């Protein structure tokens, strides 16, 4: 099984990088984790809707170029379906059982994902109605994927 996290931007803070590295290491027992980073665009503070759309389209174009062709795509989207940790585990297990051996999660930049990227997704997942920094979201996503594998294997961790 392969899990790819395709995300916009690089992690700048050391504490986020350390957390990401820890979960990637832990996930190595269960799957082949991979993180692909694409460049983000600078967003002016007073950007217009048109400018924001253009920024998302540029970032989206980069995402689509890196999107693994053989993967089941789950886009993180605030308007997506919400799931508990148990539901995420069950969903992933179902995908694996049905022959989906490569799952790609997409995390957009500070403005979210372009419409084109959202249309390419097989499903959209929301972690909350709240907005999180995309660097922190990478840590949260990796932790939840790790938790899902622990739940699937009925191993201690999840409470």
φ, ψ of residue 123 in degrees (nearest 5): -155, 165
The CA distance from 46 to 22, in Å, is 37
What domain range includes position 82?
2-152
Looking up residue 102, the CATH number of its domain turns out to be 3.40.1280.10
124 within domain boundaries: yes
**What is the helix (H) or strand (E) element at residue 7, kind and residue range?**
strand 2-8
Q: DSSP H helical segments within 37-114, as ranges?
A: 49-66, 85-97
In a domain, 159, yes or no: no
Q: pLDDT for 111-150, tens place per residue?
A: 999 999 999 999 999 999 988 888 999 999 999 999 999 9
Around Cβ 45, how many Cβ atoms within 10 Å? Answer: 4
Q: How many structural domains is the chain composed of? A: 1
User: pLDDT per residue over 27-81, tens digit each?
Assistant: 999 999 999 999 999 988 888 999 999 999 999 999 999 999 999 999 999 999 9
Residue from 76, 148, 71, 141 nearest 102 by CA: 71
Domain annotation covers residue 157 = no
pTM exceeds cut of 0.75: yes
- Does any domain span residue 22? yes
Distant-in-sequence, close-in-space partners of 98: CB < 8 Å, separation ≥ 6: none
């Amino acid at each position: 099984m392969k899990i790819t996290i395709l995300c916009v931007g690089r992690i700048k803070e050391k504490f986020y990088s350390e957390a990401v590295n820890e979960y990637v290491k832990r996930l190595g027992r269960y799957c082949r984790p991979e993180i692909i980073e694409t460049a983000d665009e600078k967003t002016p503070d007073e950007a217009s809707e048109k400018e924001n759309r253009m920024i998302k389209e540029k970032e989206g174009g980069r995402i689509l170029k890196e999107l693994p062709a053989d993967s089941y795509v789950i886009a993180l989207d605030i308007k997506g379906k919400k799931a508990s940790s148990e539901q995420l585990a069950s969903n992933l297990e179902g995908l694996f059982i049905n022959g989906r051996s490569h799952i790609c999660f997409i995390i957009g930049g500070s403005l979210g994902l372009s419409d084109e990227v959202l249309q390419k997704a097989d499903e959209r997942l929301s972690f909350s109605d709240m907005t999180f920094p995309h660097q922190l979201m990478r840590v949260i996503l990796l932790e939840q994927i790790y938790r899902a594998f622990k739940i699937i294997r009925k191993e201690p961790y999840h409470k």
